[in-house]
Amino acid sequence: MQTPQEALSVLVVDDQVMPRLLARAALESLGHRVIEASNPTQAVQVFIEHRPDLVLLDVEMPQHDGYWVAQQIRAAEQGGWTPILFLSGRHGDEDIWRGIEAGGDDFLAKPITTTLLGAKLRAMQRLLMMRAKLLQRSEELRLANAQLQQLSLHDSLTGLFNRRAIDERLHQEIAACRREGQPLSVALLDIDHFKRFNDKAGHLAGDTCLKQVAKLLEEACLRPRDLAGRYGGEEFALILPLTPRSGAMTYARALLRTLHRAALAHPDSPIGPQVTLSGGITTCVPDEATTAEGLLLRADDALYNAKRKGRNRFFS
Ligand code: GH3
Ligand code: MG
Ligand code: MG
Ligand code: MG
Ligand code: MG
């Protein structure tokens, strides 16, 4: 009559021995495992400790009734769902209504046949399986969403934050530094004579160079709120919150030293045999008038000056 199905662990709650034994016999003949509780408080304790797949619950018990137990179980589930089937000798419409209201999923009449119990469990099992599938699906969606989010905020060549992420963070930091009354420094960096690099060494070598510079920039971001991003092409942006102008310049000098030590070869730079970059820095304690666009424009002006003054330097 029964086709094999996955075994459930079933908590049988009843204050009387005989109904517990009958339920155990029926459940075990259906291939399920049984845990028993003989009073309401014990039922809640056993539920919390063993987390059964399903609860078969008597209504009339001393101290508390089955409705109370169902409520306690629902409160203890923490986002989970355990089917609760009431099994009672009293099964008038009012009893059934109260049982479902208390969180029960079905209300069965004592005595119950093994066949009927098996059928009711089968229906609950189907719901449990559907729920598991939905949970798995939503976990997959959550992961896919996180991957999309990661993709949408990162540059595929260098792995640095992209223009979108830079703009987003800059808006956030303007607001945050304004609230905190703290200085915010923004730098735009541009690799010197990169067109010549590409023309001489080829675009693939150029790409490798961009990745190497990106790695140095990322490593140079020491504070948790610092951000390095690829603004576009061979241009990068740094967002340095809580950093005054002097701090930003110290940071910039350290960056130029690091780049110098890394000694990335430039095949055709009038400056020398190594890759160099120029940077423009702007600093302010943001107020109502401060905009991301304004800061980037000022950093770009400073960058232009650094280029004009001979490159391989920062200007602020
Ligand atoms: P300057 O010192 O004035 O900045 O000179 P430059 O040659 O670096 O500046 P320009 O703006 O004339 O050229 C930038 C070059 O950067 C041209 C472009 O081909 C190269 N470039 C931009 N994005 C990429 C990229 O993703 N990969 C490679 N290999 N090259 C890129
Ligand atoms: Mg009872
Ligand atoms: Mg450029
Ligand atoms: Mg350049
Ligand atoms: Mg240029």
pLDDT tens digits for range 193-209: 999 999 999 999 999 99
Give catalytic status of residue 94 as yes or no.
Answer: no
| Active-site option among 234, 235, 288, 293 | 234
ipTM of the complex, rounded to two decimals:
0.95
Asked if residues 85 and 99 have their Cβ atoms less than 8 Å apart, the reply is: no
Residue 3: name the closest of 131, 119, 142 by CA.
Answer: 119
Ligand 5 mean position, distance from CA 196 (Å)? 11
What pLDDT is stored for residue 184 in this prediction? 98
Is the C-beta atom of 209 inside 6 A of ligand 1? no
Name the closest ligand to CA 270: 1
pLDDT value for 5: 63
200 C-alpha to ligand 1 centroid (Å): 12
Choice from 191, 195, 303 to test ligand 1 binding pocket (greatest atom count within 8 A of CB): 195
The C-alpha atoms of residue 48 and residue 152 are separated, in whole angstroms, by: 42
Confidence (pLDDT) at 2: 40
Q: Is 47 in the pocket of ligand 1 (CB under 6 A)?
A: no
CA distance 206 to 199: 9
Segments in the chain below pLDDT 70: 1-5
pLDDT computed for residue 78 by the predictor: 87
The pTM assigned to this predicted structure is: 0.74
